[in-house]
Amino acid sequence: MAAARSRTAELKVMAGASAARPPASSPSSPPPPPPPPQLLLLLLALLLAAAATAAEQQVPLVLWSSSRDLWVPLENAHEGHITTDGQLASYLDPALEKGPRNVLLFLQEKLSIEDFTTYGGVFGNKQDSAFSNLENTLDLAPSSLILPSVDWYAASTLTSYLKEKLGASPLHVDQATLRELKLNDSLPALLLLRLPYTTSSGLMAPKEVLTGNDEIIGQVMNTLKAEGVPYTAILTAVQPSRVIRDLSSMVSGGLGRHLLGENEDFKPEPSPSLPLPPVSYNDTEPRILFWAQNFTVTYNNELRDLTALTFGNPALNLSSSSWNSSFAQLAMTYENVFGSFLTIKLILNNRLYPVSARSWFTMDRLEIHVNNSVVVFNSSHITAPSIYSFHCEYVSTERSKNSLLVALPGSSAWHVTFQDFQIQAFNLSGGNFSYASDCASFFSPGIWMGLVSSLIMLFIFTYGLHMILNLKTMDRFDDHKGSTLSVPLTE
């Protein structure tokens, strides 16, 4: 990161020098006028937007170890280089083979290289850095490696890769349980410690969370150092935070208005977060795909948001899931949610219907297993041809959201809601969803209103046309050459 900052400074100096150099074609001509500040601001905003687009699929990855000479300095490293999964494996393989067998993975919910440049005190105010413990740890570590930009896919499969290399399942730990563990270098251990992040649009909220995460890292490192346990530590994220998007909106809006002399208040709009990847159950190949934009479970008016714990979470426990050509079960197990363990099961069946001469899949039920009890919701309305996926804007137990999940007796205390729900368990192609069969009927309320209004207008037009066609002209007229037409009146 220091090299990146020095290169950036060199580029700025070079840009300033080239801007100050007069044109070579006409030495005696007066220098051109400087570009207006509006143009400079526009160019700056475009550069920031381009950088954000290029960085939105990458996360940083930091490695350090208590052993020496595990990583050699990066050769031919340049700004903008993205570390692929193959390159990441080439860095990790020597460390896992020659280094300690205790691997500690700090997995943050969101993190980008822009977090370090924004909150790391890189502009001379080191005392205000949100990563003081991490910086001190890297300075004292015998071996360390910083990868500013790692492909998001490579980072998302890191837990599975470490599990395969070490031959040990990931163990979720915190500061308290870490002190109780008896680690040694003879048995491999993969310790997973999740760090939170905030999605607030304010600039101070992310810094406070990053500072808290840095303190956790410092306390964990002090614990390992006090016990003398050899280790290799990795810090990365589930998805990028894209802080640069917020900064670009501030520069193009708040800073631009300030330079242009406008005094009105400006509040940058929060950048939209990236969609999380779906849950994928695999055996020899992907078998079940499940995704939702939002996933919440409520028990006795206590609501828990399981979106971040479900989608894009490589540590999600799917061990109880199963699949064959006619039956599929997606079982997602969570720790310390409404009890020690909470398991959500989506049970689907694939059947051939002779009347339609095609196979249809149906999600028969949703089960909630917690505290040795089972809560069942009927979901037979979730159905589609087996070559398609099923999609619905809301799949919920609430009546206001069409209640596609029907509670059976004993389920009144539980409520489950999926927003933008999509699932497919059969005939997957390439690990992607097939064409979606939507739960919305063709004749929606809007279509019915349009049809009824059109029929009423058609009836009025037809009645009016009928009245016009039945008009009759007079068959007797006055003749100015003859006698006046008289109509006798009868009493």
Render pLDDT for 363-383 as a digit per residue (tens, 0 to 9): 988 999 988 888 899 887 888
Q: Are residues 312 and 201 in the same domain?
A: no
Whether residue 187 sits in one domain with residue 284 = no
Q: What is the pLDDT of residue 247?
A: 43
In a shared domain, residues 192 and 296: no
Mean per-residue pLDDT over the chain, rounded: 76
Same domain, 124 and 232: yes
46 belongs to a structural domain: no
339 and 433 fall within a common domain: yes
Exposed/middle/buried for 393, CB within 10 Å: 0-12, 13-18, 19+?
A: middle
Q: How many domains does the chain have?
A: 2
**Model pTM score:** 0.43
State the amino acid at position 142 in one-letter form: P
Q: What is the CATH number of the domain that holds 307?
A: 2.40.160.110
Q: Encode 103-114: b = buried (16+ Cβ within 10 Å), e = exposed.
A: bbbbbbbbbbbb
Asked which of 393, 417, 438 is the last residue of a domain, the reply is: 438
State pLDDT tens for residues 121-130. Answer: 655 556 678 8
Please check whether residue 43 lies inside any domain of the structure: no
Same domain, 214 and 88: yes
Looking at the structure, tell me whether residues 81 and 219 fall in a common domain: yes
Task: Examine residue 232 and state whether it is found in any structural domain, yes or no.
Answer: yes
Last residue of a domain, one of 438, 460, 483: 438
Same domain, 169 and 225: yes
Q: What's the full length of the chain, in residues?
A: 491
Q: Is residue 244 part of a domain?
A: no
**Do 333 and 343 touch, CB atoms closer than 8 A?**
yes
d(CA 491, CA 89): 116
Range of the domain at 119: 58-239
Question: Do 330 and 316 touch, CB atoms closer than 8 A?
Answer: no
CB 416 within 8 A of CB 297: yes
Co-location of 301 and 404 in the same domain: yes
Nearest by Cα to 347 from 334, 326, 328, 360 = 328
Do 224 and 296 reside in the same domain of the chain?
no
Going residue by residue through the chain, which has 491 residues, state the pLDDT in tens, using 9 for 90 and above.
444 444 444 434 343 444 344 444 444 445 555 555 555 555 555 555 555 454 457 888 888 888 887 776 665 555 567 888 788 888 888 888 888 888 888 888 788 888 887 777 655 556 678 888 888 888 888 888 888 888 867 777 788 888 888 888 888 777 666 767 777 767 788 888 888 755 444 444 677 888 888 888 888 888 888 878 888 889 888 778 764 444 444 444 444 444 444 444 444 444 445 678 899 998 888 889 999 999 999 988 888 999 989 998 888 999 899 999 899 999 999 988 888 889 999 999 999 888 878 889 999 889 999 888 888 998 878 888 888 999 998 888 887 777 788 887 766 788 899 998 999 999 888 778 888 888 876 666 778 899 999 999 999 999 999 999 988 877 666 666 666 666 676 65
Q: Is residue 1 part of a domain?
A: no
Q: Is residue 7 part of a domain?
A: no
The residue among 91, 110, 343, 353 whose CA lies nearest residue 243 is 110
> For the purposes of burial, counting CB atoms within 10 Å of the CB of 134, is it exposed (0-12), middle (13-18) or buried (19 or more)?
buried
Among the listed residues 308, 301, 335, 333, the one whose alpha carbon sits nearest the alpha carbon of residue 320? 333
38 domain residue, yes or no? no
Domain contains 218: yes
Check whether residue 93 and residue 224 sit in a common domain: yes
Between the alpha carbon of residue 334 and those of residues 23, 67, 172, 174, 405, the distances in Å are 66, 34, 11, 16, 21
Among 419, 438, 457, identify where a domain stops: 438
Could you report the per-residue pLDDT of 143-177, keeping only the tens digit for each?
A: 888 888 888 677 777 888 888 888 888 887 776 66
Query: Per the structure block, which two tokens stand in for 436?
Result: 């979606």
Q: Kindly give the pairing relationship between strand 373-378 and strand 406-407.
A: antiparallel
